Chain A
């Protein structure tokens, strides 16, 4: 199991388009990927649970990945957060 912490940089938070990009990317890995904030966790492959977290700008998020491609998944997702999901 691997863990890393990222920060939401997008002004509009993790709504709509960023959430969509995150879910699509997460779904391309076989590893189980979770986001957690203050004890709330969400399946990164589920648009409804990701949006359900209601993440706003500057929130710190812990990402956990478990599976054979966990490392690559974390790397790519961290990249997305740091680059505002390329939006």
Chain B
């Protein structure tokens, strides 16, 4: 068994097609400048034509993002420095175009390969792809095309070029195996986009495999078997069937309730950042939006979005939900997310600094603009507004006062809005969790943000490798705070959800169900797997689990308890 870097999950079993590009022999001969300049010019034109066709095909099949690869290739092809240096060499040495081009392109390729930046390093592959296209054209040779494959195959190559992956015959490609590349290399990204199993960085797969060899590999673990035994084939097939079975099982859960065996319903909601995320949310049968992060509207621009711009985005999401409820979180900027036009300035501890609601309360006009846009959008469907980074009752009351002012203002202008907009707070600062019994009297709901709650409760910066182990979801203090918050909300009949990454963690879901959580919110891909877990649970047993957990003193003991079954 060979082992490489897992690039795209899935099992592939089939015969190998070895793609070995004939080593180009670049001839060197004396020629005239005029002749070679014309040859080079014609070759560039021909390649430009090919690339334009590829770009259009890619745009139609794979979308804008991937088509940009060819836009970049056309720029490299027409690069004035590449041309200038090549022509200079042709003239100075009276050599043929391909000899000069090969030498010049090697300089550029090795310059990019030597760069520290991973992104720029990868660009060497693009330059190689373009210049080799030009060399093939000059030498009147054709590259192996993957556009028409005669049957299903596993592609085995040193590496696949961007133009090969974009133009290949997708229905006949079972998987890719390559000698070089890492998880973020072009081939790996492309394989994931196309949902084709792939392993990269296998070092010498091209010398270990012949075309026609039977190959079985597991893209998830990165293991490859060449001409596997009956036994090995069976193992791979079994895993393949299990994968398919699991996918089918998940798909069968679409339309079913997220209910425990004994009939307790837990709302499974989606986290989204833009209206475009609704597509995946729908496909995975989300029941509501538990967190719509509005930051993206404010990022990558030079000034604040206007009230109308915001209104259109919020309204688009609310309308798109067709009656399902939607929790929209007000601006949560600061910490690791900055806006240049907000002039937050450098801070020694940005996560303990000027961020989220703290900014909004100091910049009430900005905050009111967002609130007006939200209230205006509320006529399009059920809306809840959630405020991040609340640490006290004072802040909660200050927020509610501003909300009341905004509503008065809208009323005085005869602008309509819904009467039943719910107001909630995020519980992500320990002080708020501890005060949740009192806070529950003043809001309609809580949503527990576990990522920040963990970092603030355990006083751990998770980017700091030395203390990474302290960022532990099983920390008993953290779980007790979550328990306290849920209990306090339930006692006042308030909705309480969890929207951090712990919400979909397999072994924690039963504990949260036992604690009495009403909603779990997560990115779309986790919704169906979580529904599957919930449908296997018994609420009474989950409650017992909570009693057991409360007796334990260490994170390890809790982890063991939750993974007992």
A interface residues with partner B (beta carbon < 8 Å): 9, 13, 15-16, 20, 23-24, 43, 45-49, 51-52, 54, 83-84, 87
Contacts and interface: CB of A to CB of B under 8 A. Distances in A.
B296 to A, nearest CB: 14
B445 interface: no
A48 B81 contact: yes
Contacts of B80: 43, 45-46
B82 A48 contact: yes
Contact of B117 (A23, A46, A54): A54
Contacts, number: 46
Contact of A54 (B72, B115, B300, B340): B115
A13 B120 CA distance: 11
A87 B300 CA distance: 6
A87 B80 CA distance: 25
Residue among B75, B76, B115, B119 having the largest count of chain A Cβ atoms under 10 Å: B75
B23 interface: no
Contact of B72 (A9, A20, A52, A84): A20
B108 interface: yes
B22 interface: no
Nearest to A52: B111
A7 to B, nearest CB: 12
B76 A48 contact: yes
B71 interface: yes
Contacts of B300: 84, 87
A20 B81 CA distance: 15
Would you list the 6 A-B pairs with minimal beta carbon distance, nearest first? Answer: A46-B81, A47-B75, A49-B81, A46-B79, A48-B79, A45-B80
Interface residues of B, number: 21
A54 B118 CA distance: 11
A9 B119 contact: no
24 contacts: A13-B117, A15-B120, A16-B72, A20-B71, A23-B75, A24-B75, A43-B80, A43-B81, A46-B79, A46-B82, A47-B72, A47-B75, A47-B76, A48-B81, A48-B82, A48-B108, A48-B112, A48-B127, A49-B79, A51-B120, A52-B108, A52-B111, A54-B115, A87-B300
B75 A51 contact: no
Given A16-B119, A20-B75, A84-B300, 16 more contacts: A9-B340, A15-B117, A16-B72, A20-B71, A20-B72, A43-B80, A47-B75, A48-B76, A48-B112, A48-B127, A49-B79, A49-B81, A51-B120, A54-B116, A83-B302, A87-B300
B123 interface: yes
A15 B112 contact: no
Contacts of B117: 13, 15, 54
A24 B340 CA distance: 26
A36 to B, nearest CB: 15
Contacts of B76: 47-48
Nearest to B109: A48
A69 B162 CA distance: 37
Contacts of B120: 15, 51, 54
A24 B79 CA distance: 11
B117 to A, nearest CB: 6
B162 to A, nearest CB: 14
A24 B74 CA distance: 12
B79 A47 contact: yes
